[in-house]
């Protein structure tokens, strides 16, 4: 009788704990690490969506990555950034020789670029009207103040259109030439490159035409060089100088557009 009881397997006794807990824990940790490592990718893999009946861990392979585009939760990781990090990246964007691309390599954000673009849009509309008024007032003392509302529309189309379309175009060009890069990184880099035009807008209000041209030319050169230095990091093993020169020309053209349209 005693031998019969002692031969029973311990896993069937009351209070026994299966030994697969460690395996489940290891699997969960591995999946969490894998999802964290892919935060810089765009579009998101699935945005947290899992079809009914789909086994966990296999949904990333069976679900189209573009489903994450329509999920709000997919974009939360791109805005999960501290204020100190945003300020540090803004300061780095002012120095063209800084290795900005290394600072955003692990965690590129969209909070900074969107905030910079929106602020620059309103600054161009408001200060552009004020600067134009000062220039006219200097030449004609009888000039009255008028606010041109179309400045808001033009600044929104120019800034957001440039910040979204130009990085996307270079993303597809880099993909075509065989370079693996991230669209979010390019959006992040181009978005922070616009910050230098925010303090420049304050200086462009000064009603001295020569001073205005010197300021905008210096800003255009600094911003273009910033784009060239960081874009060259993606093409170190290949000679795509024409691609880099094209990016510099577009950035410098934006600076000239800001001066000639908003501060004539």
Encode 62-85: b = buried (16+ Cβ within 10 Å), e = exposed.
ebeeebbeeeeebbebbeebeeeb
Q: How far apart are alpha carbons 210 and 50 in whole angstroms?
A: 60
86 Cβ contact list (under 8 Å, min separation 6): 109, 111, 112, 115
| Both tokens assigned to 141 | 């003392």
**What integer pLDDT is reported at residue 144 of this predicted model?**
84
**What integer pLDDT is reported at residue 182 of this predicted model?**
82
**What integer pLDDT is reported at residue 195 of this predicted model?**
94
**What integer pLDDT is reported at residue 175 of this predicted model?**
86
From first to last of its 264 residues, the chain has per-residue pLDDT tens of 445 545 555 545 455 445 444 445 444 444 444 444 444 455 554 443 333 444 444 344 434 455 555 566 666 777 878 888 888 889 888 876 667 877 787 788 889 999 999 999 999 999 999 988 888 888 887 778 888 889 999 999 999 999 999 999 999 988 888 877 888 889 999 999 999 999 999 999 998 999 999 999 999 999 999 998 888 877 765 677 888 899 999 999 999 999 999 998
Alpha-carbon separation of residue 111 from 75, 79, 135, 160, 197 (angstroms): 10, 5, 35, 14, 18
**What integer pLDDT is reported at residue 68 of this predicted model?**
55
Q: Which long-range contacts (CB under 8 A, 24 or more apart) does 51-57 make?
A: 56/31, 57/27, 57/31
**What integer pLDDT is reported at residue 211 of this predicted model?**
94
**What integer pLDDT is reported at residue 47 of this predicted model?**
40
**What integer pLDDT is reported at residue 100 of this predicted model?**
80
| Both tokens assigned to 245 | 């020169």
**What integer pLDDT is reported at residue 209 of this predicted model?**
92
**What integer pLDDT is reported at residue 69 of this predicted model?**
57
Of 247, 228, 258, 223, the C-alpha closest to 95 is: 223
Reduced DSSP (H G I as helix, E B as strand, rest coil) percent helix, strand, coil of the chain, to 5 = 70, 0, 30
167 Cβ contact list (under 8 Å, min separation 6): 183, 186, 187, 189, 190
CA angle at residue 166 from 165 to 167, to 5 degrees? 95
Of 117, 102, 128, the C-alpha closest to 202 is: 128
């Amino acid at each position: 009788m005693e031998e019969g009881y002692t031969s029973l397997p311990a896993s069937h006794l009351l209070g026994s704990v299966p030994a697969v807990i460690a395996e489940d824990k290891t699997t969960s940790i591995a999946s969490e690490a894998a999802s964290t490592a892919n935060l810089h990718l765009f579009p998101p893999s699935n945005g947290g969506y899992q079809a009914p009946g789909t086994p966990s861990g296999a949904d990333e392979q069976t679900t189209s990555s573009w489903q994450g585009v329509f999920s709000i939760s997919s974009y939360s990781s791109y805005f999960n950034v501290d204020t100190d990090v945003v300020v540090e990246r803004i300061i780095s964007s002012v120095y063209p020789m800084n290795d900005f691309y290394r600072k955003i390599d692990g965690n590129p954000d969209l909070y900074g670029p969107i905030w910079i673009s929106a602020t620059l849009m309103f600054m161009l509309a408001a200060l552009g009207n004020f600067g134009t008024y000062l220039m006219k007032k200097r030449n004609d003392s009888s000039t009255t103040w008028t606010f041109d509302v179309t400045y808001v529309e033009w600044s929104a189309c120019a800034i957001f259109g440039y910040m979204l379309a130009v990085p996307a175009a270079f993303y597809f060009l880099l993909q075509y030439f065989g370079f693996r890069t991230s669209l979010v990184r390019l959006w992040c880099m181009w978005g922070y490159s616009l910050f230098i035009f925010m303090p420049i807008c304050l200086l462009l209000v000064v009603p001295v035409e020569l001073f205005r041209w010197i300021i905008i030319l210096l800003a255009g050169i600094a911003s273009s060089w910033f784009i060239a230095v960081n874009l060259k990091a993606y093409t170190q093993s290949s000679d795509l100088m024409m691609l880099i020169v094209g990016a510099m020309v577009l950035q410098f053209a934006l600076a000239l557009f800001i001066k000639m349209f908003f501060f004539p």
